[in-house]
């Protein structure tokens, strides 16, 4: 199971990013653990200065702006 964190204050883009990830995982039939991180100290700990940020299995894969659907699918399906 992949552990995916969406880093951000809970803004619209952060919520949309979390929804895109959930939909992509469901479509791919991949089980994920999705966590929303809103604590700024934790977000800064990942070195993310622009939200939303996305962390997959401990690795920052995105920061700032909405990710495209192809990018989201790649996070779900990569091993």
One DSSP character per residue, 55-68 reads EETTEEEEESSPPP
CA dist., res. 63 & res. 44, Å (int):
12
Any idea what the CATH number is for the domain that residue 58 is in?
Answer: 3.40.30.10
Please write the tens of the pLDDT for every residue from 21-64.
999 999 999 999 999 999 999 999 999 999 999 999 999 999 99
Residue 57 CA to residue 31 CA, distance in Å, equals 13
- Domain tally for the chain? 1
Range of 62's domain?
2-77
pLDDT of residue 35: 98
- pLDDT, residue 46, reads 97
Q: What is the pTM of this model?
A: 0.94
Query: Could you read off the pLDDT of 64-79 as tens digits, one per residue?
Result: 999 999 999 999 998 7
CB 66 within 8 A of CB 8: no
pLDDT at residue number 78: 84
The pLDDT, as a whole number, for residue 42 is 96
């Amino acid at each position: 199971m992949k552990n995916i964190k969406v880093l951000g204050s809970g803004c619209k883009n952060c919520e949309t990013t979390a929804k895109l990830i959930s939909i992509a995982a469901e479509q791919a039939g991949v089980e994920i653990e999705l966590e929303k991180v809103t604590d700024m100290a934790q977000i800064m700990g990942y070195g993310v200065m622009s939200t939303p940020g996305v962390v997959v299995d401990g690795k920052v894969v995105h920061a700032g702006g909405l990710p495209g659907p192809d990018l989201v699918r790649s996070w779900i399906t990569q091993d």
